[in-house]
Amino acid sequence: MTALILCILCSVLLVVLFKLFDRFKVDTFQAIVFNYLTAVITGTIANPFSPDIVFNEKGNWIFWALGLGVMFISLFVIIGKSVQEAGITLTTVANKMSLAIPVAAGVWLYQEPLGWLKLVGILLAMLAVTLSSWTSESKSEEKKHVKSWLFPLIIFVGSGFLDTSMKFVEAKVLSPSLTSVFLIILFLTAGSIGSGILAGGLVLGKIKFHYRNLIGGIALGIPNYFSIFFLLEALKTSGLDSTVIFPVMNVGTVLLSAIAAILFFKEKLSQLNYIGLGLSIAAIVIIALA
């Protein structure tokens, strides 16, 4: 349970930092690239490993690390496009609703029990994250063409696949000694691709570097590394099923992020948002009791 709580806190810190990016005019893409490289350094310092393990450990774990690294950076680019084409609300809801995929995978692939009480909690969690994320921009910014639904659909499937893959990697691919090097290769892959895109943009003059983007990336990279590290730890050591971990992680992050937005950014929530937050608390309690 401790690992799950730390995962949620790190995820909330990521949300807070993204909000601060707007205030300090940090370029999100540049910060994301530097964040991946910072995550590599963070992982190397926090959980050092012997380079020999890369060559001595058998299995296809390294291909999973490379593939998920590509997906990490790709999904980020798609999220950026989705915000432009479909708006923030639809993008956020699609990202949060994706918890349905790893939950379904937990029941199907790992025969995790799904009693009626847990099912009610999961459905309540999905409704909660939808209402908590809903804003008035959904009416004013939504664009009525195929892309306004295509990108959120890709995000829904992609985010769900990433979470499902994390569970599969923890359960079937990684030994305890591989967790650190797996994450480092994953972040290094994403950072290398992002660095290539960033370098191309700088050379072509389409992107301008500013030191605040580097600072933002460093600040982002540390909690980002630990959010994934603690997620894997929660899946491995908490004794909780993934059908519990993913809903609680999502609604917990949404709930605490909303509280942070009210306290530190003086954001005003709608009546629907408050209903969603109330349902978030109810969902966590129900899932905990299931």
| Least trusted range by pLDDT, from 12-16, 33-37, 142-146, 163-167 | 142-146
DSSP state letters, the chain = -HHHHHHHHHHHHHHHHHHHHHHTT--HHHHHHHHHHHHHHHHHHHS---THHHHH--SSHHHHHHHHHHHHHHHHHHHHHHHHHH-HHHHHHHHHHTTHHHHHHHHHHH-----HHHHHHHHHHHHHHHHHH--THHHHT---STHHHHHHHHHHHHHHHHHHHHHHIIIII--GGGHHHHHHHHHHHHHHHHHHHHHHHHHTTS----HHHHHHHHHHHHHHHHHHHHHHHHHHHS---HHHHHHHHHHHHHHHHHHHHHHHH-PPPPHHHHHHHHHHHHHHHHHHH-
pLDDT value, residue 279: 92
Range of the domain at 167: 2-289
CB atoms within 10 A of CB 145: 9
pLDDT tens sequence across 208-255: 999 999 999 999 999 999 999 999 999 998 888 999 999 999 999 989
Tens-digit pLDDT profile for residues 135-190: 765 554 445 555 567 888 899 999 999 999 999 999 999 887 888 899 999 999 99
- Give the number of domains in the chain: 1
